[in-house]
A and B are shown apart, each in its own frame.
Chain A
Amino acid sequence: MNIEMKRNAEETIIEITGRLDTTTAPVLDKTINEDIQGTKDLILDLKGLAYISSAGLRVLLGAQKKMQKIGSMKVVNVCEEVMEVFEMTGFADILVIE
């Protein structure tokens, strides 16, 4: 998994590529919790993400809960396979997906 972060004033865009699984999820979790201080709007770009497991979903849910309080979170460029997992688990209704 590879994470690239672009900060722009109060907006942060995180691009995630590769696999978001049990082994990689803690990395993203750490990034979101520690590296985006002061960000009000978070955009997760999943263009390069082809695989997500429940560990990844857990991180996304945590991020959503956190951002809801201070600003907003948006998920963009979701591929078909990941979208299927979102829909299967009800995350399609929780996350703001564009």
Chain B
Amino acid sequence: MRLIVPILLNCILVLAVYLSDKHIAANKLSYMKKQSIIGILFGCVSAFASGYGVNWLGTVVNVRDAAPLIAGLVFGAPAGIISGFIGGLYRWFSVYWGGGTYTQLACTMATILAGFMAAGLRKLMFDDKKPTWGYGICIAVVCEVIHMILIFLTNMDNSSYAFEFVKGATIPMILGNAAAVGFAIIIVSILSHEKFTRKQGSERIAHTFQRWLLVCIVIAYCVTSTFTYILQNGMVRIETQEVFTTAMNDVEADIQEKSDAQLLGIAKQVRWEYERNKNISLDDLAQKYDVVEINVVNTDGWIINSTEKDVINSYNMNSKEQSREFVDMMKAQKSFVQEYRPKGIDETVWRKYAAVRLSDSGFIQVGYDAEQFHQMLNGFVVDVTKNRHVGNRGFVAVCNAQLRMLTENEYAGMHISSIGIDPPDEMKEGKTATALYYADIVDGKTDLSEKYMYVFKFVEGYCIITAMPEAEAMFMRDASIYTSIFMQVLIFATLFVFIYILIKRVIINNLKKINDTLGQITNGNLNVTVDVRSNEEFSSLSDDINTTVSTLKRYIAEAAARIDKELEYAKQIQLSALPTNFPIGDDYSIYAQMIAAKEVGGDFYDFYKLNDTTVAFLAADVSGKGIPAAMFMMTAKTIIKDLAERGMAVNEIFSKANEKLCENNESSMFVTAWMGIIDITTGEMQFANAGHNPPLLKRADGSFEYLKSRAGFVLAGMEGIRYRANELTLCPGDRIFLYTDGVTEATNTENKLYGEPRLEDFMNKNAAVEATELLPALKADIDEFVGEAPQFDDITMLIFDYKPQKRGELMTNKTFPAKVDALPDVLGFVEEMLENYECPMKIQMAVCVAIEEVFVNVAHYAYGDSDGDVNFGICFDEESREITFRMADKGVPFDPLEKPDPDITLSAEEREIGGLGIFITKKTMDLVTYAYENSENVLTMIKKL
């Protein structure tokens, strides 16, 4: 009961340490500091438990070993070792204040060992984690067994005392320590919300193996222990019986010899008397020598004279077995003494006979009964038995036939039951014992009774009893059972640990290594290889995995290459869907660029003339990437254009487009878009925003500013959205810049965004730059900002310049047949116009060459063999001093600018004839653009004066 206090103390400390580790800022302490503190705390508990126990044979039974075990198993190896040392050293020095010296060394060693054991097992068997409570209890049991073995080993010179101690202390110490460790681990398990039931599903090999190994070991242990017990039990009975038999035989031999000699002496005296006077009265002789019977027997066995008158000449000694022995023996010997036994002629009478040969023939036989020879023998018998010891504390006692004791002490003459032996039936009947008997024999001095084992034997009318305390008989058995059971615990526990560690090293650790690598491979790192070479099986497994992975790698690379190629096609298709015939000149100009990211994205821009006076332009961004986004972009672009060409208002276009895009949009994609529809004659613009970035607007006399308007929800996001149209009137010289988030969200290697402020800044610095140069410059600025980082998103930019022609500067138009013959007329018209603009002669000639080239080109190719017209328009802007030429034909769509320039560095021999015309035009004019508009090839050329 006293042991409960230190057990509880252990549990409380575990609770305290665990909670403080979890909740208080103990985490700031380093691992070793924390371990030291825990070690010292548990060391103190160990020391306390050392003194707080139950006294047993001069030593205290206690649970000192529990604290180091708990510290080591639950909290960590260093803590276990430290507390083991503290507890052990306390025990060593405790002899100075009353601790037992008997187990001093053993206890000290055991406690220190407990710390190391906990530390070692935690590291080797439990992966530096807390074991389950079952293992905790097993470890505590093994630890205490070692403790007991140490007590044996350190007290070899006094093994019976050591054994007594161990016998009493083993059970409470094992139970106490096991309970302390078990409870402590259970408390921690509860606190950390572990489940006590077995986890569902598969479990780790290590655990399965641990459990089955444990089961096997326990079964093996039980079998061997039972076997040892049975064997030792049988052995001890045999040994005890041997001890008894030896003692008994000695006593028997002594008594027999004495008795025989006694009777033989009498018989010889009787013969001497008889032979001196053959007519002497046998009755007198019998009386004289105090014998019951004297017979004279002839060589044939006939009793020829006797004290028993009725047998004379009527009884032949050969007729009964008992008497025949005499006849037989006397043929060879001169004398013979028979043991005390029933006589042949009347078996109810017990007699002892001795015979001596008569000098002439026959022999004389003397017989007497027990009362007669016992009187002479009693003293001798007491002497023979009183100093005889059986084992350490056993004795030999003698009773007479009435089972009354023959001793010198106070029991003399008392019935055998007075010392506690309740005579069994056999003893009462005077038969010799056949088995071991038990009795609680009373010690005459102390009056205490103790369980004895005894056997008895009747010799010469005496009952000889050999007895030994059962405890003494069983001592050797118990000692060997205890030691062998302890050793088995130790051996099996060691075996368990070693097999487990071996399996773990050979199989489980390797499996874990392979699993870890496979985990990395599964997570996408195909460059790792499995390299477990500790045995042939794992080597081959490693090789197989590596081969599989490299094959996989190859397939993946091939697939990736194929996908890349397909994406490239998709990108080209997507790009080709965007218009590139940028309108320039007239009343407005549009220039746009879309730079796709590596993956196909969903950005797009679009612009189209809705009628002679209205133009629509937009930029949009489809959520997501890849082919789905590209396909969705195509759909969105087509739907919006279709709706716009029906003449709808911009908000209606968005509302309708939203409905259409929402239909069957199972992949939940959406589009952000900004669209403006402008009347170029008045500059009035309506625009709508569906979740798109606000565009930048620059007024002719101002700087770029974000055109913030209330944005509607994204397109295709949700059905039933109504969009609102905003209005804005543009003035000549105003500029709108549309872009997608690929611009503002371009990210550099430091994860910084390009951002709206930077964009606004850049646009303002380059406000006056032509759109065709501004967009590449912006892209270059973005690239510079982004640096090494890859482009994540498509970048789309569109500039709309509003520059309506001033009145009176509208083009002068003239139409000519598309024939080379009309060339002089064309040139005449051009020259006339140029004269009007007061163009220098030199420029006039150069311009004429340029016009001739493009006209001849159209004349030759535009209409094939059929006839057609070419319309020329010329105007001059005095402010910018630019002459704009517009040449339009309705022939087959053909962009003359696409043709590469000829290589003008080649020699005459290598030069091709042709290809020079358009080149001359490009060189002469300041700007040449081509567009296919309203079924017309429109070539616009600008020449600055």
Question: A: which residues have CB within 8 A of B?
Answer: 21-23, 50-55, 57-58, 61-62, 64-65, 68, 80-81, 84-85, 88-90, 93-95
Return the contact of A57 from the options B905, B916, B923 (Cβ within 8 A).
Answer: B916
Could you tell me the distance in whole angstroms from the C-beta of A72 to the nearest C-beta in chain B?
A: 12
Q: Using known A-B contacts A68-B908, A84-B846, determine if residue A22 contacts B852 with beta carbons closer than 8 Å.
A: yes
Instruction: Assess whether B920 is in contact with A21, with CB atoms less than 8 Å apart.
Output: no
Measured CA separation A57–B918 after assembly (Å): 13
Q: Does B904 count as interface, using CB distance less than 8 angstroms?
A: yes
> What's the nearest-Cβ distance from chain A to residue B817, in Å?
14
Contacts of A80 in B (CB 8 A): 842
Whether A54 touches B916, Cβ cut-off 8 Å, given contacts A21-B852, A22-B852, is yes
A51–B827 CA distance with the chains assembled, in angstroms: 12
With A22-B856, A23-B824, A85-B849 in contact, do A53 and B908 touch (Cβ < 8 Å)? no
**Which residues from chain A contact B820 at a C-beta distance below 8 Å?**
22-23
Q: A93 to B916: give the CA distance in the assembly, Å.
A: 15
Q: Is the CB of B920 within 8 A of A89?
A: yes
- Shortest Cβ distance from A23 into chain B, in angstroms? 6
Chain B residues within 8 Å of A81, by CB = 842, 845-846
* B599 CB → nearest A CB, Å: 43
Distance to closest chain A CB from B766 (angstroms): 31
The smallest beta-carbon distance between A58 and chain B, in angstroms, is 5
CB distance from B840 to the nearest CB of A (A): 11
CA distance A80 to B842 in the complex (A): 9
CB of B597 within 8 A of chain A?
no
Cβ of B835 to closest chain A Cβ, rounded Å:
16
**Measured between alpha carbons, how far is A21 from B904 in the docked complex, in Å?**
20
A-B contact pairs, 15 of them (CB 8 A): A21-B823, A21-B827, A22-B820, A22-B852, A23-B820, A23-B821, A53-B849, A54-B853, A54-B917, A55-B917, A65-B909, A85-B846, A88-B924, A90-B904, A93-B905
Please provide the chain B residues from 880 to 939 with a CB less than 8 Å away from any CB of chain A in the complex: 904-909, 911, 913-914, 916-917, 919-920, 923-924
CB of B848 within 8 Å of the partner chain = yes
Query: Contact at A85–B920, with CB atoms within 8 Å?
Result: yes
Interface contact B909-A68, CB-CB below 8 Å? yes
How far does the Cβ of A46 sit from chain B's closest Cβ, in whole Å?
Answer: 14
* A83 shortest CB reach to chain B, Å: 11
4 closest A-B pairs by beta carbon, nearest first, are A90-B904, A54-B917, A54-B916, A94-B908
Chain B, interface size: which category?
20 to 34
Q: Chain B: which residue is nearest A84 at the CB level?
A: B846
The answer to whether A53 touches B920 (Cβ under 8 A) is: yes
CB of A67, distance to nearest CB on chain B (Å): 10
A20 CB to closest chain B CB (Å) equals: 10
Which B residue sits closest to A82, measured CB to CB? B845
Given A22-B856, A53-B852, A94-B907, does the pair A61, B920 have CB atoms closer than 8 Å? no
Among B821, B848, B911, which residue has its beta carbon within 8 angstroms of that of A94?
B911
* Shortest distance between the CB of B941 and any CB in chain A (Å): 15
Task: Assess the B908–A61 pair: CB atoms within 8 A.
Answer: yes
A51 and B908 form a contact (CB under 8 A)? no
Using known A-B contacts A58-B913, A93-B905, determine if residue A88 contacts B852 with beta carbons closer than 8 Å. no
Q: Are A89 and B856 in contact (CB under 8 A)?
A: no
Q: Determine how close the nearest CB of chain B comes to the CB of A69; give it in whole angstroms.
A: 10
Q: Nearest residue in B to A60 (C-beta to C-beta)?
A: B908
Against A, the Cβ 8 Å flags (1 = close, 0 = not) of B842-872 are: 1001101100110010000000000000000
Q: What residues of chain A lie closer than 8 Å to B821, measured between beta carbons?
A: 23
Contact of A61 among B823, B842, B913 (CB under 8 A): B913
| Minimum CB–CB distance for A17 against chain B, Å | 15
What's the Cα separation between A55 and B820 when bound, in Å? 12
Whether B917 and A51, one on each chain, are in contact in the complex, defined by CB atoms closer than 8 angstroms, is: no
B544 → A minimal CB distance (Å): 67
In the assembled complex, the CB of A4 is this many whole angstroms from the nearest CB of chain B, namely: 22
Q: How many A-B residue pairs have CB under 8 A?
A: 67
Residues in A neighbouring B906, C-beta threshold 8 A: 90
CA of A52 to CA of B853 in the docked complex: distance in angstroms?
A: 11
* Cα–Cα, bound, A93→B842 (Å): 22
CB-CB under 8 A for A62 and B911, given A22-B852, A81-B845, A88-B923: no
Q: Which residues of B contact A65 (CB under 8 A)?
A: 908-909
Q: Are A64 and B849 in contact (CB under 8 A)?
A: no
Q: Give Cα A68–Cα B920 distance, bound, in whole angstroms.
A: 25
CB-CB contacts below 8 Å: B815-851 with A: 820-821, 823-824, 827, 842, 845-846, 848-849
| Cα–Cα distance between A51 and B851 once the two chains are bound (Å) | 13
Cβ of A89 and Cβ of B919 under 8 Å apart? yes
**Using Cβ atoms and an 8 Å threshold, which residues of chain B touch A51?**
845, 848-849
Q: Are A23 and B848 in contact (CB under 8 A)?
A: no
Q: Are B920 and A54 in contact (CB under 8 A)?
A: yes
Q: Which residues of A contact B919 (CB under 8 A)?
A: 89
Q: Are the CB atoms of A22 and B823 closer together than 8 Å?
A: yes
With CB as the reference atom, state the residue of chain B lying closest to A22. Answer: B856
In the assembly, what is the distance between CA of A20 and CA of B667, in Å? 66
**Minimum C-beta distance from B857 to chain A (A):** 10
* A55, B856: Cα distance in complex, Å: 10
Nearest CB in chain B: distance from A37 CB, A = 21
Q: How far is the CA of A21 from the CA of B846 in the complex (A)?
A: 12
Q: Which of B848, B852, B905 has the most CB of A within 10 A?
A: B852
Residue in chain B with minimal CB distance to A56: B849
CB distance from A12 to the nearest CB of B (A): 19
| Further pairs besides A51-B845, A55-B856, A81-B842: 15, Cβ < 8 Å | A22-B820, A23-B821, A50-B845, A53-B849, A53-B856, A54-B914, A54-B917, A58-B913, A81-B845, A81-B846, A84-B846, A85-B849, A89-B904, A89-B920, A90-B911
Most A CB contacts (10 A, CB to CB) among B823, B824, B849, B852 go to: B849
CA distance A49 to B904 in the complex (A): 23
Chain A nearest CB, measured from B92 CB (Å): 109
Q: Residue of A at shortest CB range from B843? A: A81
Residues of chain A contacted by B914 (CB below 8 angstroms): 54, 58
Residues of the A chain whose Cβ atoms lie less than 8 Å from the Cβ of B913: 58, 61-62
Most chain B C-beta atoms within 10 Å of own C-beta, residue among A54, A58, A62, A68: A54
| A50 and B911 alpha carbons, distance in the complex (Å) | 24
Q: How far is the CA of A90 from the CA of B853 in the complex (A)?
A: 17
User: Please, which residue of chain B has its CB at the minimum distance from the CB of A21?
Assistant: B852
What's the Cα separation between A57 and B911 when bound, in Å?
A: 12
CB distance from A65 to the nearest CB of B (A): 6
Q: Using Cβ atoms and an 8 Å threshold, which residues of chain A touch B856? A: 22, 53, 55
Q: For B923, list chain A residues within 8 Å (CB).
A: 88
Residue of A nearest to B912 (CB): A61
Contact of A90 among B824, B905, B917, B924 (CB under 8 A): B905
Measured between beta carbons, the chain A residues less than 8 angstroms from B908 are: 61, 64-65, 68, 94-95
Chain B residues with CB under 8 Å of A62's CB are: 913
Q: Looking at B820, B906, B916, which has the most chain A CB atoms within 10 Å of its CB?
A: B916
Tell me the minimal C-beta distance from A76 to chain B in angstroms. 17
A80 — nearest CB in chain B belongs to which residue? B842
Chain A residues, CB < 8 A from B905 = 90, 93
Contacts of B823 in A (CB 8 A): 21-23
- Roughly how many angstroms separate A93 CA and B907 CA in the complex, as a whole number? 8
Measured between alpha carbons, how far is A80 from B919 in the docked complex, in Å?
19
- Complex formed: what's the CA distance from A11 to B849 in Å? 31
Report the minimum CB–CB distance from B816 to chain A (whole Å). 14
- Residue in contact with B917 in the complex, picked from A53, A84, A93, A95, CB distance below 8 Å: A53
Closest CB-CB distance, B820 to chain A, in whole Å? Answer: 6
How far, in angstroms, from A54 to B827 measured CA to CA in the complex?
15
Complexed CA–CA distance, A87 and B911 (Å): 15
The interface centre, meaning the residue of A53, A61, A64, A95 with most chain B CB atoms within 10 A of its CB, is A53
Q: Which residue of chain A has its CB nearest to the CB of B903?
A: A90
